[in-house]
Every structure is written in C-alpha cells, then in structure tokens.
Structure 1
Amino acid sequence: MNKVSKTENAWREQLSDEQFQVCRLKGTERPFTGEYYNNTTPGTYSCVCCDAPLFETRTQFDAGCGWPSYYEPIDPAAVVEAEDFSHGMHRTEVLCARCDAHLGHVFPDGPPPTGLRYCINSVAMKFAPAGTAN
C-alpha cells in the first residue's frame, strides 16, 4: 500500500469543510446525524480522503451511540490505532492506514466475534453499494 501524503492546502482543496475538520483536524460529527448511521444497503465504505477500503456493511451494527459502528475493519491493515488523550479522556483513535485520516474511535464493548466497536464518522467515509465501484 502506497502512503498518501498531502499538504494542508491540498487536503483543504479536496475535502469539504466538515470533512477537513473531522479527517485532518480530528473533529467529530454530531451523533445521530451522519449519512451512514442507519445504512443497511450491502456495500463497502472507503476513506473519503484516499479511497482505501475500510469497512463493510456486513460488519455494521446499531450500537446506539450515534455513529456508524462496525465490529471489524475490512482488513486489519486498513486502519491503525493511536492513543487519544483529548477532551480529558483516554480513548483509542482509529486512523486510515493509507493517509492517516482521523476516522473515529474503537472501544472494547462491541458484539462477537471481535468484541470491538469501531465508531466511525460518516463524513470520513464514502459508500459504494455492492456491485458498484467507489
């Protein structure tokens, strides 16, 4: 996998203001407002910044937390984790392995088979229904 690296200005030109705030400045969208929160259409979610495949609908579940949630990434190498001490909390941040976009956080309270809950911002992803290209 080739790493994607761009200047801040290049990212600003490519992304909407909200996408830039979330993906490059580690922001978050408001809970229960994201485009993919209740999506049940089979397909694949990719990084909005670099098109890397991240998650599949088959691993999505309703965690009741307000963000699209998945119990595993499409491939363990698709995401990387980092400690996050922002907002007075200790959490595990989830980043796109290809371009380091902030995607959301992962928590150890998800369903089987992994027991993980990847809470991901809709704005950090784009969706392609099964059988279509991103």
Structure 2
Amino acid sequence: MTTGPSEDEDTLRERLTPEQFAVTRCSATERAFTGQYWDHHADGIYRCVVCHAPLFDSAHKFDSGSGWPSYDRALAAGAVTEHLDESHGMRRVEVRCAKCDSHLGHLFPDGPRETTGARYCINSASLDFKDRD
C-alpha cells in the first residue's frame, strides 16, 4: 500500500496506534462494538486516519447492528476504492482510501433499501472525525 510522499511505513508505525496500523496497513479488523465510532452520533466528516482525506459524512451513517460504523455511501465519488477480497474463505468487497490506499473495511449489499442499499462497514481504527464547521 502507498502512504503518499510524506510518510513511510516506519513513520506510520510510530504515529498510529498498533490497532490503527494493523487495520490500515495490514487489513486487520477490529472487534465488533469496540471501536471509537461505532456508536458515535456527532455531526461532521469521518476522515482517513492515515492521510486525513474526507471519506464519509455523518449524515449517511446508520446503525446497522453490526458493531462497526456503517454508511450508506461514501462522501463523494472517488473518495474510496473497491477491490475484490477473497481472503478467509469469503468473497467480499474491500474498501480502501482512494488517496493513500489504506484498508478501511468492506462493502455489503444489505444497507438501507430506502437509500442506496449499500452498507460500508468501516473500522473505527481507520478513521478520525472532524466536527462540521
């Protein structure tokens, strides 16, 4: 994965928590109902913890019951990329930050039918949050 021109993997390992590094750089998954943002309801923008690119708007966040922050869409077209993930004997769609290629989580087709039908199931450890100004 690329980190952009300013930080190499060693610098990221120092800046990020061990869990943030494992999730974003090694495609780990935090345990359900343990992340900082799964039950977070403030108004603002969720950004990539690695490069701070804006990824998701709190207006599109919903309670999926999964224990991870869930959104029915990305903030804007091109904010995230989607990749086939056939690890762990499953066929899923991995979601990555389009700017730095950090692992964020997975996309499932079981989101709210009244909106997009999508559920971006994202690790809190891959995000930071900025209140809406």
Normalization by structure 1: what TM-score? 0.92
1:29-53 superposed Cα distances (whole Å, 9 cap, x missing partner): 1001111111111110000000000
1:10-49 paired onto structure 2 within 5 Å: 10-49=11-50
Counterpart of 1:109 in structure 2 is 110
1:82-93 paired onto structure 2 within 5 Å: 82-93=83-94
Q: Distance in 2 between matches of 1:65 and 1:108?
A: 14
Deviation at 1:75?
Answer: 0.6
Q: Distance in 2 between matches of 1:61 and 1:110?
A: 9
Q: Distance in 2 between matches of 1:73 and 1:4?
A: 21
Counterpart of 2:4 in structure 1 is 4
Deviation at 1:81?
Answer: 0.5
Deviation at 1:7?
Answer: 3.0
Q: Distance in 2 between matches of 1:14 and 1:77?
A: 26
Match for 1:120 among 119, 122, 133? Answer: 122
Q: Distance in 2 between matches of 1:11 and 1:38?
A: 27
- Residue 62 in structure 1 maps to residue 53 in structure 2: no
Q: Distance in 1 between matches of 2:107 and 2:77?
A: 13
Once superposed, what is the RMSD of the aligned Cα atoms? 1.2
Which residue identity lines up with residue 59 of structure 1 in the other structure?
H
Percentage of matched positions with identical amino acids: 51
Which residue identity lines up with residue 121 of structure 1 in the other structure?
N
Between Structure 1 and Structure 2, how many residues are aligned?
A: 129
Deviation at 1:14?
Answer: 2.2
Deviation at 1:13?
Answer: 2.1
Normalization by structure 2: what TM-score? 0.92
Q: Which runs of 5+ in 2 are unaligned?
A: none
Q: Which runs of 5+ in 1 are unaligned?
A: none
1:37-90 superposed Cα distances (whole Å, 9 cap, x missing partner): 111111100000000000011000000011000000101200000011111100
Deviation beyond 6 Å, 4+ runs, structure 1: none
Deviation at 1:105?
Answer: 0.2
